[in-house]
Amino acid sequence: MKGNAGEPMGQPPYGYIKDPDNPKRWIVDDEAAQVVRRIYSMTLEGYGTEQIAAQLEKDEILTPRAYWLKKGIKRPGKGKQQPATKWNSSTVTKILSLQEYCGDILNFKTYSKSYKNKKRLENDRENWVIFKDVHEPIIERSIFEQVQQKRGKIRKRRTNEGEHNMFSGLLVCADCGSNLHFHFNQGNPEIKYFNCSNYKGNRGSCTSTHYVRVDFLEQVVLGEIRRLTKFASLYEDEFLKAVIGHSQQAAETDRKLKEKELKALLARDEELDGLFERIYEDNVSGKLSDDRFAKMSRRYEDEQKELAEKIKKLRSEIEKQSSQAMTTDMFISLVRKYTRARKLTPRMLNELVEKIEVYNAEKIDGVWEQRLRIHYNCVGEITIPKMLPLPIPDVTVNTRKGVFVNYTPAEIAG
């Protein structure tokens, strides 16, 4: 079956076309591929699917279906008649979900109940057959993984005036867990800030506003990222320990044990196939009675059924652990990528940071302090050993007349 031979079973997605010299092979369609890369890049810069769709429409970029029609590429399905540049967020979402852009072939993503029924049904992912690095990638695998990490996690919010901020969707209240919403001072629009969306003064239940200035956030987060990159470059062994941690070392040991167990189960499954053939031959030759053959074959079949369930479960667990290891490696490479960063950008923020817990400012020994806890993508919190000469960012912001707030990492103040 060609689906098991690494040949694509369906049409190439937007960004690829069939090779004229070999229809079983996909090649990059440069014009469409540029749009695909742009969509992934905008996602990492913090744009949502609706914003991306709106921008593509504004720039008069043809939708995939309109593009194929213009190029004379036949595609099944009629689809609704709509303007050639009217992008939908669902189209953008689809493009962001396709692993094929990494160079892979994914077969058996859908199935039909019978050859008489042409309706295609979604297949469970565990039943897909994936062949990696078959054709030229449009999106680097690390970029694809980053986008999958971000999709569904960030809910971008604008002010009533439509202004967008790169921290939107990343800030959560350390006390109630609600998102912080973006605002700016009506009297002085240059002062931009976030506060808890669940604050009781706004008909919520949180007892404090958790007010935090955007300029304060920018300085703190850039300072912590630069501190992290110095940690990675100057103290590599300690950095790897902090990122990977004892729990991941234990997970790696557990993964190896599971792989060993899987190997044994597969060997037993193969052995049972051989045993079944043997008793079948013995039954045919008369060495084994029909009654005895029926009992033994039933026992072997029951064992194989049980083995199949165990093998399926183990493979799923191993794949999950392998994916976690890969994302950790990806984070390490990203940290090194920003070693010379001098300015915090939306892309840097979205690639590195999963969320930031914001505590309400407190007055401690006569000094106002605000704690933040940064959770990084793939790895969570990272604690830099106190004995290393990597000072905490010294950030102080005058939030109101005569009131200065200093930054303090949550783990120190806690």
Q: What is the pLDDT of residues 117-170, one digit of tens each?
A: 556 666 666 666 778 889 999 999 888 888 887 765 544 545 544 556 889 889
pLDDT at 27: 95
**Cα separation values, 57 from 35, 86, 163, Å:** 12, 6, 20
Q: What CA–CA distance (Å, rounded) separates 375 from 381?
A: 5
pLDDT at 152: 53
The candidate with the shortest Cα–Cα distance to 51, out of 168, 193, 205, is 168
Residues 6+ apart with CB under 8 A from 387: none
Query: Averaged over 249-263, what is the pLDDT?
Result: 80
CB-based burial label for 376 (10 Å; 0-12, 13-18, 19+): buried
Pick 255 or 78 by higher pLDDT.
255
Residues 410 and 359 sit within 8 Å (Cβ to Cβ): yes
For residue 250, what pLDDT band results from cuts at 50, 70 and 90?
low
Per-residue burial over 199-233, b if 16 or more Cβ lie within 10 Å, else e, is beeeeeebebbbbbbbbbbbbbbbbbbbbbbbbbe
Residues 101 and 108 sit within 8 Å (Cβ to Cβ): no
Return the minimum-mean-pLDDT range out of 61-75, 126-140, 204-218, 256-270.
126-140
Q: What CA–CA distance (Å, rounded) separates 17 from 25?
A: 9
Res 110 pLDDT > 70: no
pLDDT at 174: 93
For residue 400, what pLDDT band results from cuts at 50, 70 and 90?
low
Residues 6+ apart with CB under 8 A from 20: none
Question: What is the token pair recorded at 326?
Answer: 């890969």
Reported as type and span, the H/E element at residue 110 is strand 110-111
Pick 117 or 211 by higher pLDDT.
211
Alpha carbons within 13 A on the beta-carbon side of 56: 31
Query: Averaged over 15-35, what is the pLDDT?
Result: 93
Question: What is the token pair recorded at 46?
Answer: 């913090």
pLDDT digits (tens, 9 = 90+) for 65-80: 999 999 998 887 665 5
Pick 208 or 3 by higher pLDDT.
208
Most confident of the following: 49-58, 81-90, 108-117, 126-135: 49-58
For residue 2, what pLDDT band results from cuts at 50, 70 and 90?
low
Most confident of the following: 100-109, 111-120, 299-308: 299-308
pLDDT at 184: 78
The residue with tokens 């493979």 is 315
**Cα separation values, 7 from 106, 107, 125, 132, 191, Å:** 9, 8, 18, 11, 57
DSSP string of 60-83, one letter each residue: TPPPHHHHHHHHT---S-------
pLDDT at 414: 42
What percentage of the chain's residues is helix, strand, coil (to nearest 5)? 45, 20, 35
Report how far Cα 413 is from the mean position of its chain's Cα atoms. Answer: 31
pLDDT at 324: 59
Q: What CA–CA distance (Å, rounded) separates 337 from 348?
A: 10
Is pTM beyond 0.85? Reply is no
pLDDT digits (tens, 9 = 90+) for 314-337: 887 777 666 655 567 778 888 988
* 180-184 and 192-196 beta bridge pairing: antiparallel
Mean pLDDT over each residue of the chain, to the nearest integer: 83
Per-residue burial over 318-342, b if 16 or more Cβ lie within 10 Å, else e, is beebeebbebbebbbebbeebeeee
Res 28 pLDDT > 90: yes
Query: Averaged over 34-50, what is the pLDDT?
Result: 91
